[in-house]
Chain A
Amino acid sequence: MADFRVHQRDGEGVSVIDLKGYLDAHTAPDLENAFQKLLNDKKFNIIVNCKDLTYISSAGLGVFMAFIEDVRKNLGDIKMSNMSPKVYNVFDLLGFPILYEIYKDEQEAVVRFRAQKKP
């Protein structure tokens, strides 16, 4: 099984989490930890870049749901970007695009965050 990696980087008031590999029940805690750390650091503008994410299970989807409420309560958001069609399909099937902003490119998400901040 392909390994899973979470990498977090900061830039211009936005925190980016890069996902790589399989996100399932076994690897979900890694992503949970990454989110938790950002929340502890009061970083609520989060982009999850799914460029190298090859698979996501229901447990993986659950991680986003676990944190979105807290993030939005703090006037932040979790936006997603760079999904492969296959991964997008999983998100889409469940109706995630209705609840989350999903962008083709990370930069679009960054721009969107900036636009939201201004007013």
Chain B
Amino acid sequence: MSRLKKILLLAGALLLLLGVYLIDVVRLAVSLGQGTWLTVREAAVFFSFFFLFLYLQGMRGAKPLTVPKNLGKLLAYSLFVLVLIIIAANARPDWVPEGGTQNSGNALATLLFSLTAVALGLFSIMALLSIRDLVYYKRKKWTKRNFIAYVVCLLVASVAAMPVLRGDGQLFGPLLFAVAVVLIVVNSFKQNWVVYLSRREKMYSIVYASLLFLTLLGITLITSQSVLERALIAYHPPLQSFIRLNAIFGVIYFGMAFVSTLFHMPTAEVYERKQSELTSLHNLSRLVTQVFDFSDLVDSVTGMTLEVVGAKSAWLELIKGRNEQGEVLVEVVSLKNTTRQQIESIAVNGDLSLRQFVIDSKRPLVIDDISNDRRTKHIKKLDVAVGSLICVPLASHQELIGFLHATKEFQYGFDQDDIDVLTTFADHVTIAIENSKLIAKSLERERFQQEMMVAQQMQKRLLPQRIPSYPSLDVAAVSEPSLEVGGDYYDFMTLGSDRLGVVVGDVSGKGVSAAFYMAEVKGIFQALSRIAASPRDLLLRANQALADSLERNAFVSLLYAIFDSSKSCVTLARAGHCPMIHISGDSSSMVRPSGLGLGLTHEKIFEDSTEETTISLKIGDICIFYTDGLSETRNSEGEEFGYDRIVNVALHCRNNSAETIKNSILQEVRNYTGNSSYGDDMTLVVVKQL
């Protein structure tokens, strides 16, 4: 409703009422007779109240209903009205109008009774509107119909009270009155609003409803007292009827409301608990999306368990795995108001575990009376008061992931509502825990990927950036890392103008640890290659050097060869690595001096078993070094590439450059594996004697 409209309605009503008052004052002196003036007056009263009704109706629509507040306002106004009518009822007898056409008394008396009538009328409308809001709360099919029936009856009864219509309405009036009272009683049963109040609001409502009942009773009784009744009838008969019926409605309705609220008082706690349960569940579902930290999450879960069912203590267990007997192993991830010892003494009784009942039934376990339950006979001598216990399974996709426990100090602490709520709660908890696990996993994967990237970069830098050039040697090399970082390694050592050292190896392990060992091996070889007298000597020194730093399960396999262009020969020693392929003319051989992998043993047996061999090289001879990543590469049928294929390719293009031979072998490997990616690193070094 617009502001202007409100002002117009209020102004119109006030003007009309002022007009009525003026007419009444004039009537004190002059008889206006039965005619037009009285009709105008009655119409003016009617319209003024109609405007006031529209005005109040508009005011109400603006604000949402809060029951106790509205009742409080109504009560305040009713007290004011009560005071007013008590004053009016005790007016001097000669002030009281006699009724009929001729007004009696004086202008002041007229003002008092006019004000009383208007105040009562206004209050009647307010009360009616308040009651309507209450009746309409959670309305059903008949609610509105019943209420409108009453309003119609009220209006008819009021109109019937007009002197013009009264005539012989002595029977009609009481009949309407009776019907109205029946409808009042019917409508007074609509007290649904009471249920939805909180405990505090109910307290207020009880006080307000009882006081309203009393003040309205007072108003009803005083207005039906002869003095005031006469004054009201004199003012406006329909208004008097309207006020009387509404006052009765108010008395009955608020009387019923008082009783109803009183009866609903015990359920207030239940209602409030339901509300807090809902809030907690809502909070938890928010938590599901917000808490990434696992320990925060499980702490909130036990905290909320206490809150949701009002438990004394609560703890959350997650299943870690199963032992050999197939029993579940659990870990208490969060606990509130209890200790691990208590949990252990409650949950386990020798070979009988309370959890087993839950695992078997897949349903919550409730122990109503711990000291008298056969399943918990073992915890009689518990030093803390535990009367009842509940254990709810947490299940995700039919798989049990843990248990949520709660205890109360007294027996029969967990009713069906608690069980239902905790079961729902457990579902949310399960989702939250699964989520937090997934997040942790993806974080870990990210970390792992970053670690891999670092390792890959390290590995790349550890490989030689360029191939040394010797007039009599044609050298080509490649190392292709797999998706994960492997431990393949090769390097060149420039040992004067006519000697070239070549090392090809494989460090066990993957990722950062492999890259780390690789760096170590590179350092050792770069440092020792100038000191060591021979490849075998270098391997013995390297094995000693690695002794302290390699883990027990780690080792390095490698092959170290020194090409001597002045003597046209190659000397090599092998530490558990793939043999060297030597191609000379159209024949090939595997050069495989005996030797143990570095890091396998530090005893003398290493020295004893490591041999060294020297092969003289002719022009055009080819030496091929590789790692098992190349020879063991599999095709889609799972067959390995093998040495023979390497040899065949090399023989086939032996007249080409080392670079071409290297590329041909790689191409052959690719053709062999098809589209499948390499599982391991592949390293290939080709040296051709020129």
Docked CA distance A65–B599 (Å): 9
A95 touches B595 (CB 8 A): yes
A59 touches B609 (CB 8 A): no
B596 touches A98 (CB 8 A): yes
Asked whether any CB of chain B lies closer than 8 Å to the CB of A99, the reply is: yes
Residues A98 and B609 in contact in the complex (CB < 8 Å), given A59-B508, A93-B576: yes
0/1 string, A88-106, CB within 8 A of B gives 1: 0000011110110000000
Asked whether any CB of chain B lies closer than 8 Å to the CB of A46, the reply is: no
On chain B, the residues within 8 Å of A62 by CB distance are 508-509, 553-555
Distance between B552 CB and nearest chain A CB, rounded to angstroms: 5
Asked whether any CB of chain B lies closer than 8 Å to the CB of A6, the reply is: no
Within 8 A of A (CB), among B243-289: none
Docked CA distance A66–B599 (Å): 11
On chain B, the residues within 8 Å of A96 by CB distance are 600
Identify which of B509, B597, B605 contacts A94 (C-beta below 8 A). Answer: B597
Asked whether any CB of chain B lies closer than 8 Å to the CB of A84, the reply is: no
On chain A, the residues within 8 Å of B609 by CB distance are 95, 98
B576 touches A99 (CB 8 A): no
Docked CA distance A65–B594 (Å): 19
In the complex, the chain B residue whose C-beta lies closest to that of A70 is: B552
On chain A, the residues within 8 Å of B552 by CB distance are 65-66, 69
Binding site secondary structure of chain A:
helix
On chain B, the residues within 8 Å of A66 by CB distance are 551-553
Asked whether any CB of chain A lies closer than 8 Å to the CB of B24, the reply is: no
Asked whether any CB of chain B lies closer than 8 Å to the CB of A63, the reply is: yes
The number of residues on chain A lying at the interface, defined by a beta carbon within 8 Å of a beta carbon of chain B, is 15
Distance between A53 CB and nearest chain B CB, rounded to angstroms: 15
Docked CA distance A59–B554 (Å): 8
Docked CA distance A25–B605 (Å): 28
In the complex, the chain B residue whose C-beta lies closest to that of A28 is: B553
Instruction: Find the residue from B578, B579, B596 having the highest chain A CB count within 10 A.
Output: B596
On chain B, the residues within 8 Å of A93 by CB distance are 557, 576-579
Distance between B43 CB and nearest chain A CB, rounded to angstroms: 98
Asked whether any CB of chain A lies closer than 8 Å to the CB of B506, the reply is: yes
Identify which of A63, A95, A99 contacts B594 (C-beta below 8 A). Answer: A95
Distance between B430 CB and nearest chain A CB, rounded to angstroms: 28
Instruction: Find the residue from B509, B555, B576, B609 having the highest chain A CB count within 10 A.
Output: B576
Asked whether any CB of chain B lies closer than 8 Å to the CB of A87, the reply is: no
Docked CA distance A58–B594 (Å): 19
Asked whether any CB of chain A lies closer than 8 Å to the CB of B300, the reply is: no
Asked whether any CB of chain B lies closer than 8 Å to the CB of A14, the reply is: no
B600 touches A58 (CB 8 A): no
Docked CA distance A94–B506 (Å): 11
Asked whether any CB of chain A lies closer than 8 Å to the CB of B499, the reply is: no
In the complex, the chain A residue whose C-beta lies closest to that of B608 is: A98
B553 touches A94 (CB 8 A): no
Distance between A46 CB and nearest chain B CB, rounded to angstroms: 16
Distance between B536 CB and nearest chain A CB, rounded to angstroms: 14
Identify which of B506, B595, B601 contacts A99 (C-beta below 8 A). Answer: B601
Distance between B627 CB and nearest chain A CB, rounded to angstroms: 10
Residues A95 and B600 in contact in the complex (CB < 8 Å), given A62-B553, A65-B553, A69-B552: yes
Within 8 A of A (CB), among B581-621: 594-597, 599-601, 605, 609
Docked CA distance A62–B551 (Å): 9
Q: List 28 A-B contacts (CB under 8 A).
A: A58-B487, A58-B509, A59-B508, A59-B509, A59-B553, A61-B508, A62-B553, A63-B553, A65-B552, A65-B555, A66-B552, A66-B553, A69-B552, A93-B557, A93-B576, A93-B578, A93-B579, A94-B596, A94-B600, A95-B594, A95-B595, A95-B596, A95-B597, A95-B609, A96-B600, A98-B596, A98-B605, A99-B600
